[in-house]
C-alpha cells in the first residue's frame, strides 16, 4: 500500500496573526526611519543650498560693485573727452570766424584800392 505523504502541520490562525502584526510594526519602523533620514537629508541639502546661494549673492555684490566702479571711471573719462572735444571745436570755430572776418576785410580793402 502506498504511504500517504506526511501532512505538514498548519499553524493556527492566531500565530499567523501575531507574525503579521510583528511584520507590520517592523515595516512601520523602517518607514519611520526612512522618513527621518530623508528629512535630515533634505535639511542638509537645504543648508548646503543656502550656503551656495549666500556665496553667489556675495559674488554678485562684489561684481556689481566692480561694475559700478568701472562704469563711473569710464563715464568720467567720457565726460573729460567730451569737454576736451567741445573746447577744441569751440577754439577752431573761433579761429575760422576770425579768419573769415580777416579775409572779408582783405577783400574789401582790395576792392577799395
Condensed to tens digits (0 to 9), the pLDDT of residues 51-103 reads: 999 999 999 999 999 999 999 999 999 999 999 999 999 999 999 999 999 99
Round to whole Å and give the CA distance between 98 and 105.
Answer: 11
Instruction: Single out the residue of 105, 101, 81, 77 nearest to residue 93, CA to CA.
Output: 101
Judged against a pLDDT cut of 80, whether residue 3 lies above it is answered with no
% of the chain beyond a pLDDT of 90: 77
Provide the grid cell at 101: 572776418
pLDDT for the residue 108: 93
Residues in the chain: 113
**pLDDT-derived band at 18, boundaries 50, 70, 90:** confident
Amino acid at each position: 500500500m502506498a504511504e500517504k505523504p506526511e501532512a505538514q502541520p498548519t499553524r493556527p490562525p492566531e500565530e499567523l496573526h501575531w507574525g503579521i502584526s510583528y511584520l507590520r510594526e517592523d515595516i512601520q519602523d523602517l518607514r519611520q526611519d526612512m522618513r527621518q533620514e530623508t528629512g535630515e537629508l533634505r535639511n542638509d541639502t537645504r543648508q548646503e543650498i543656502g550656503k551656495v546661494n549666500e556665496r553667489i549673492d556675495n559674488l554678485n555684490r562684489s561684481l556689481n560693485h566692480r561694475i559700478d566702479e568701472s562704469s563711473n571711471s569710464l563715464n568720467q573719462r567720457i565726460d573729460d573727452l567730451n569737454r576736451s572735444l567741445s573746447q577744441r571745436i569751440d577754439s577752431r570755430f573761433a579761429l575760422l570766424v576770425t579768419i573769415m572776418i580777416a579775409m572779408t576785410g582783405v577783400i574789401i580793402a582790395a576792392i577799395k584800392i
